[in-house]
Structure 1
Amino acid sequence: MDRPPSQADLDAIQAQLGRPPRGVVAVVSRCPSGHPNVVKTEPRLPDGTPFPTLFYVTCTRLNAMIGTLEASGLMREMSERLTEDDELAAAYARAHASYLEEREALAEVPEIHDVSAGGMPTRVKCLHVLVGHALAKGPGVNPLGDEAVVLLGDWWTGTTCDGPGEPPAQLAGAREVP
């Protein structure tokens, strides 16, 4: 069960985002130093806006590195693979269904019913969402998110997060990129 974020978490997230966080339910992934990486958000923000992104990446460095992957053409390659690999497409569709189920457990928002995020279930539109999902749930839930996490490597190295802690537990057992 998710625990609400502490005030220290909310302060850290605000520093990362450069604005107050909105609709945060829990911190679902942390870097080795304990700072938030990914938060779980309400499907409707406090101002009433529908928000399909259940798992939102807050870490500035992680966001930048994911942006570099997006710029490399990786999303197009992944989308093409979904049309060629039935097993991958089925696993990605399961990730979509899992995402929707978890979000709808928080609240049903008719405006985003059956809409997950990141392009699921048929294409790859946003690696930030897929990485957030993979880090939040661990390996084996979102195959393309898992691949992107592996490609990111140790994004925290050389930062204030590069401390005595362990790598995010969600990386244990991450599979190799095909």
Structure 2
Amino acid sequence: MGLLPPATAPEVPVTDPTPGSPAVDPSTDPSAGSTAVTDGDLQVLAEQLGRTPRGVVGIAARCVCGRPLVVRTAPRLPDGTPFPTTYYLTHPGAVAAASRLEAEGVMKEMTARLGEDPELAAAYRRAHEHYLARREELGHVDEIDGISAGGMPTRVKCLHVLMGHALAAGRGVNPLGDEALDRVRDQWRPDRCTC
């Protein structure tokens, strides 16, 4: 999937939340090169969300046109609220596609498969651990220690979270997030702009 580097508008003073990360191939890791937040990004996010974005520390994945798909959020919001959802899906088309899958009962079916398929369960547990490690890079919050998001590691309760994680981390990290993205390809896909 082709992603554009961050826009060149003036940056909001945020530091790169992933110092020391291993080098990644931008063609396989959508978050590579997409951590800076610009004033323009914050305006787009407000438009996408219908409210002022809170706790944004980076853009974890971008549309091919450069607009945000997924934000990386601080584990504690500015008002002090613990916030476990590190990767927050913002693109309206992706959000709508995730909502349609949820309405079709996909979460229940995926959760059942976790109990039947040890390999899938192990891969999903690794996704949970990845999520926790990436959030811990942003700071430790006791209230959410060990709690990731989206139902990981034992169930599926939010496809928005799983799709956001898959878009941010790249294919192969969150198996159910990857599957959800595959299931919505006829409605929305990250390699085609629908902004």
TM-score (norm 2): 0.79
The 8 Å contact of residues 32 and 162 in structure 1, kept in 2 or not, is answered as no
CA distance in 2, matches of 1:45, 1:145: 25
Aligned-residue sequence identity (percent) comes to 58
Work out the CA distance in 2 between the residues paired with 1:16 and 1:73: 25
Distance of 1:51 and 1:131 partners within structure 2:
18
1:51 counterpart letter in structure 2: F
Q: Is the 8 A contact 2:61 2:168 kept in 1?
A: yes
Pairing partner for 1:119 from 151, 161, 176: 151
Query: Partners in 2 of 1:135 and 1:3 — Cα distance?
Result: 13
Whole-angstrom CA distance in 1 between matches of 2:115 and 2:170: 25
Mapped partners of 2:35, 2:125: distance in 1: 28
1:50 maps to a residue whose letter is P
Once the two structures are superposed, the pairs formed by residues 1-178 of structure 1 within 5 Å of their partners are 1=18, 3-153=35-185, 155=188, 161-162=193-194
Structure 1 unaligned segments of length 5 or more: list them.
164-178
Where structure 2 has 5 or more consecutive residues not aligned to the other structure, the ranges are 1-17, 19-33
Distance in 1, Cα, partners of 2:67 & 2:169: 17
Specify the code of the residue in structure 1 equivalent to 2:118. Answer: D
The residue type equivalent to 1:125 in the other structure is: K
Q: Residue 33 of structure 1 contacts residue 162 of structure 1 at CA under 8 Å; is this kept in 2?
A: no
Q: Give the 3-state SS of the residue equivalent to 2:137 in structure 1.
A: helix
**1:130, distance to aligned residue in structure 2 (A):** 0.2
Q: One-letter code of the match for 1:152? A: V
**How far apart are residue 29 of structure 1 and its match?**
1.1
Could you report, residue by residue, the CA deviation over 1:98-136 in whole angstroms, capped at 9, with x for unpaired residues?
A: 100110111100000000000000000100000000000
Q: Indicate the residue corresponding to 1:168 in structure 2.
A: none
Deviation, 1:156, is: 5.7
Aligned length in residues: 161
Report how far residue 60 of structure 1 moved. Answer: 1.4
TM-score, normalised to structure 1's length?
0.86
